[in-house]
Structures are given as C-alpha cells and as structure tokens.
Chains A and B, each alone.
Chain A
Amino acid sequence: MKIENAKKFGMVIDLDKCTGCGACMVACMAENNIPFREDDTDKLLSVSWMYVYRLNNGKPFPDYEECYLPRPCQHCEGHHGHSPCVSVCPSTATDYDMATGIVSQIYPRCFGCRYCMAACPYHVRQFNWWDPIWPDGMEKMLNPGVSVRMRGVVEKCSFCIQRYQAAKDQAYMEGGREIEEDEYQTACAQGCPAEAITFGDLNNPEHAVHQLAQPDPAHEGRSKNPKAFRLLERLGTNTKIYYLSSREWVRKAGDNYLNGEVKNKAHG
C-alpha cells in the first residue's frame, strides 16, 4: 500500500562516538515507564528497550579494541512492511505502520504467546515475566503518556511514539503544519551526551538522519555511506537503524559471513 507523503522514521547511531555510558538506556526507561526488579542482573529476564552491547575484536593486547553498540528495536520493514515479528503475531497485536515506518505493539491485545520474540533475531522483544512493581513514590513519576504494561505481555521500543503523537497534536493546533525535525525526537537520541544518536525521517533529504544514512530506496534502504551498516542486513529484515563506524571489524560485526568472506569477526 502506497501512502502519500509517508514518513520513514529511523535512526543513525555513530559507534565512533558512543562511549557506552548507558544514558540512552536510562532515558528510555524513564520515558517509557519500563519496569525493573530489585535484582535485575539477569538481562534475559529484564526489560530493556534500548540495550548497549559491548563488542571486542577478539585480539590480545595491544591490538585489543572495543566498541559499544546500542540496540533499540530495528523497526524492520522487510519486504513491503513484512517485518519478521508483525506477520507472525496471531492476534494482530503488532503492526507495521506504512505512514511512519514504526513497528508498534498493542499491549492490551497481546496475550503473550511470544511468537514475535522467537521471530525477532535482534532480541528487541521482551516479555513481562513479572507484574511491574515501582518503588514507593516512584509511580508518581511515571510518564502519563505511556501505558504501563502488565505481566504476561510482550513489549519493545516504540520510537517514543507518544512524542510523535504530541508533536502531531501541536502541529494540528497550529494550523495543520508539518512537524519540524526537532519536534519529534526519541528519548535516547536526546539523552545521549555524545550525540551519537541521530533520529528523524529517512525519507526527508533535509533531515540529518537521511544525510548520514544515505538510504538507497532501490536496494531496500541499503546505505550508500561507506561507513554505515545495518544489523543482519543479509536476512532481508530491512531495518531502519543505521550504524556508523570507521573501523572495518565493527562494520563486519553487523552481519554473518561465510568463511573467506571476511577475515576478522567481532566477539561479544
């Protein structure tokens, strides 16, 4: 389905700038009312819409190098909106919006079958194994624009869609004008002290994210920027998160290669 003036919100994360400070994760949790437990050390049981991986090149000192890789939902478009998780959901609790390119999650409709989690190779979909319990008083600091999720449903990064709604409402009240680039920014992009995260409309040549990512529409958005790569591009997921790195081993870490296709592989 072709939508006129469709936006395609996406993100560029400059890994050369990322220090791994985790501010993006904190900003995301505060903005989106992400629950946490007293002991949240088992990351396979906790909820982190934004998660920062620590990669290394697998070489001993002095050739050892590290890289931090923040991983939000990749908002896969696949082929014509056929993202890995959306098509498998049996109750239509997740949706690919052709008008924005955002993969949404409808919490009250999700019944927790977890098929979407199995289908997602990025592990961005996480399950609420427990009911959220907020420390005394903290419930007063919850974001009223974001619903709190209950036990037994899947959740994931929404590109802070509540901010898009608010920006659209504001623009509508002001005569139905177009929203500006800086009116809709995700919490992680705003929270990053190194300005490693750039967010905007990949379809809009005036947006910084478009200029950095240089998506090629003829090749499902593959970047023309030689420093840029997307995670697991070979799977055909057609993601909207572009990573920049000046280091080849980091760029190669973004995908799987057969023996002989690449010499240096990254290590987690």
Chain B
Amino acid sequence: MDAALIPKGVKRCPIWQFVMWIGVNGAVLAWGVFAMLLVYIKGLNQTNMNNAYGFALWIWADLAVIALGGGAFFTGFLRYIVGKDELKNIINYAVLIGFICYSSALLILGFDVGQPLRAWFIFWHANVHSMLAEVAFCLTCYFGVLTIEYIPLILENRKLDQVPFFHNLGHNMHEIMAVFAATGAFLSFFHQGSLGGVPGVMFGRPFGFREGVLVWPWTFFLFTWSAAAVGPCFTILITKITEAIARKKLVKDNVIELLAKISGWMLFFYILAKIADTWYWANFTAPSKGFNFWDFYTNNPGSAYGIWIFIAEIGICGVIPALILITNKGRKIQATLWLAVLLAVFGVCLNRWVMVLQVLAIPVLTFENWFAYFPSWQEIATTLLPVAYGVILISASYRYLPIFPQERELNPIEGSAAPAEGAVREPASTDSGSGAELSPAKS
C-alpha cells in the first residue's frame, strides 16, 4: 500500500503490522496528550510538585533527554570537525535521535511553566546571569540546527525526491551541512554546560553547589562532558534496539565499535573528573557549609537517597561501562556492549536525577526534614508522551527514509525471494537516494 514511499532495495514489515505498532504507541501518545491538556487547562496543581519540589520529574526528563540527545552533536563533531569518516553511517540516526530528544525537551518545558503564554519572557526579559536563560537560547537555536539537519533526510524520501525543488533543496542543504554540524557542536557545548550550571550555581543548596572557574561551576563542564560521553552510547543503544526489533543488522560493527571506543574513553575520563569533583566537594565545599558527606545520604525516608544511589551512579553506571568500552574485547562482545551502553545511559539519567531531585530533597534548614516526592499520573503520562512520540517518529523515519546507509549492503534482498508487502525487489543501487548521509552530497 505504501510501497512507493519505502526506500529502494530495503525490506519493511507489512503495512498492517506497522499500523498496529503505531496504534499501540499512539495510544500512549494520546494518554500523554490528554494529561498535557489537563496540565495546560487546570495548571500545575495537576502534578505532585509542591513548594519544596519546584523542580521534579519534568526537569529531570528535560535534563536526561538533552544529555542523551548529546549523541547528535558529539557524533556530528567527530564526523565533521574531527573527520571520523566511518561515522557517516550512523550520523543520520544520531541526528534523528537528537531531534527527538530536543523537541521532547522543548515540549516538556512548554507545560512545565506556570504561565505558558509568558514563556517568551525568557527571551524578551532575559537575565544574562541566569543559567536557565542561556539554556533557553542555546536549546532553541540548537533545535533549529537539528531541524535543518533532519530536513534533508526527509527530502530523501523516494516520492519527495522526485520533486525537483525538494531534490535540489536537499542537495544544497547537504552541501552546507558541515557548517550546521559545527554550529550545533558549539551551541551544545554551552547549553549542556548551562544545564549543569543550573544546580551548580545554587549556593543555597550545598548538594548541588560547586566552585568553578569564572562564572562556570564545575558541573558546567561535567554535564557537557557526560553528555558527549553518554550521548553516543544512547545512539548505540537505540540502534541496537532498532536492529533487534527490525531483526536485521543496520550498521556495521566497525562503526559501532568506533563510536563505542570514543564514548568509552570520554566516559572514562569523565568519571575520573567526576570522582575528583566529588572528592573535593565532599572534603572542602560541603564542610565549609556545615555539611559532611553522609548528611546527604542518611536519615532519609525509605533510604530513597541512600549511599546506594551514589555507588550506582559513579561506580556501577560510571566506572563499569567505561572499563568495558575502553577494552577491545568489551566492545566486540555483544552482551558486554549492550550492558555497557545500558549502564552508561542509566548512569547519566541517575546523575541528572540526583542533581535535580536530591538537591531539593535534602533539608538545608536544620529544623526541616527530608522532602518526599512521587509524581502524579499526569506527570508520568506527560513524561511518557515524548517516549511514544520518539518511537513513532523513529518508526516512520525508518520505514520511509534512508536512515541507515549500510542497510542494503548488510541486508541484500534475494532476487528470487518473494518480497513481503511493502518491499521493493529492485537490486541495491548506489544512487544518492538510499546511501545518503549528512555530508556534502555527490553531485
């Protein structure tokens, strides 16, 4: 039914299967949209946030998806600035994942403010000293860059490519894509850092506060570093999940292993820096405010923020994946590769969680107690909304766009075999349609 839209030389599932898959995710999406409308209409009283927990699940989700979306800028940086040519085979997917992550972050920010109609004040009345103002500017600009990077990919669709204007537009956009990749890398270094600066500058909150250099607390650099390290892990993880669902190999091992190796070394040095930062904070920064390390991890209800969370973040989800990924064997064995990227992704999410939620949970006034929080169903539904949206956009993009340049080579369709519905029996060709990536196109 939609065979004309499917890239040449690749096999896709029947349309009924695709529609059912979209339908299931669409139901989750609809649930999230319903909750979002409730929040927009009735206000933030639909959440379980309160005056102690002004930041909660949504801000964590924002920080987490932006960190995970860091694969787009860092892979682009490696591909276009450093010149790692092999990464052209995964850059499309990294851009798509980044686009989903950043659009999700903006979507969440839209309903996470008390007066959404005034959200533009952040640009109009910008306070240049505020980390959040910098985040808003950079994040919006970078989303624009990701959109520009994603558009040529959409224009590679078989039907759209037949329109001369779209064909030429896509071609010309490819030509200048390196400029946008460099811009994206520049913007990302700043907004990822500013997100780290959000807790880092709060000198009234000893758990989050860090010293630093000039106006930037150490968390500024740690957040950028961790996003650059773990973003590619998330790209690998989503690629692996896509391969598992599609039941075919989409990216060659050498590409994955190269990205994993760079990610591993980035993670290794990040975790060393994180340990050094934690040691200094625990021994000097926090004591100067009257706190010792254990004050932050004990006497809280249900040990929700016990020492386990510290060990999990830095040890299990930091040191272990770094050690796996820097070894050749660890990257080559699929089980350890899966484990490492899963742990790394979980670790960066946990880091963002503690830097938002734990900062607010800890009592600073001596006569207050730990604050507890559990999100409302509206918060959970609206946080799952971007997940469902991401799955749908990835599914549609995978079905109709040449996301993976190596797919045809890795999965040649037998000329004698009967194609499934939606499949095209043309032999693999070398035209620019399905072999596209975000580099200057072949003219």
A123 interface contact, C-beta 8 A: yes
Determine whether the beta carbon of B52 is less than 8 Å from that of A44.
yes
Determine whether the beta carbon of A112 is less than 8 Å from that of B367.
no
Determine whether the beta carbon of B132 is less than 8 Å from that of A90.
yes
Once the chains are docked, how many angstroms separate the CA of A45 from the CA of B51?
6
Q: Which residues of chain A from 102 to 116 have any CB-CB distance to chain B below 8 Å in the complex?
A: 109-115
Contacts of A89 in B (CB 8 A): 127, 130
Contacts of B54 in A (CB 8 A): 114-115, 117-118, 125, 127
Q: Min CB distance, B84 to chain A, in Å? A: 36
Determine whether the beta carbon of A121 is less than 8 Å from that of B204.
yes
B288 interface contact, C-beta 8 A: yes
Q: Which residues of chain A from 40 to 67 have any CB-CB distance to chain B below 8 Å in the complex?
A: 42, 44-45, 53, 55
Q: A113 touches which one: B113, B206, B288 (CB < 8 A)?
A: B113
Determine whether the beta carbon of B290 is less than 8 Å from that of A129.
no
Q: Min CB distance, A95 to chain B, in Å? A: 10
Q: Contacts A90-B127, A255-B290, A268-B369 known; A117 to B51 CB distance under 8 Å?
A: yes
Once the chains are docked, how many angstroms separate the CA of A63 from the CA of B359?
34
Return the chain B residue nearest A74 by Cβ: B204
Main secondary structure of the interface of B (DSSP, over half): loop
Contacts of B371 in A (CB 8 A): 44
A12 interface contact, C-beta 8 A: no
Determine whether the beta carbon of B121 is less than 8 Å from that of A121.
no
Q: Mark B184-214, 1 if CB is under 8 A from A, else 0.
A: 0000000000000010011111100000000
Return the chain B residue nearest A94 by Cβ: B127
A232 interface contact, C-beta 8 A: yes
Q: B366 touches which one: A90, A110, A153, A253 (CB < 8 A)?
A: A253
Determine whether the beta carbon of A53 is less than 8 Å from that of B367.
yes
Once the chains are docked, how many angstroms separate the CA of A256 from the CA of B52?
19
A234 interface contact, C-beta 8 A: yes
Determine whether the beta carbon of A152 is less than 8 Å from that of B202.
no
Q: Contacts A130-B45, A232-B364 known; A119 to B113 CB distance under 8 Å?
A: no
Once the chains are docked, how many angstroms separate the CA of A69 from the CA of B129?
33
Determine whether the beta carbon of B51 is less than 8 Å from that of A268.
no
Query: Hey, which bits of chain A sit against chain B, CB under 8 A?
Result: 42, 44-45, 53, 55, 69, 76, 78, 84, 87-93, 109-115, 117-123, 125-131, 150-154, 231-232, 234-237, 253-259, 261, 265-268
Sort A-B residue pairs by CB-CB distance and give the 6 closest, nearest first. A112-B114, A152-B114, A256-B290, A268-B367, A114-B54, A117-B54
Query: Hey, which bits of chain B sit against chain A, CB under 8 A?
Result: 43-45, 49-55, 112-116, 118-119, 121-122, 124-127, 129-133, 136, 198, 201-206, 287-292, 295, 359-360, 364-369, 371
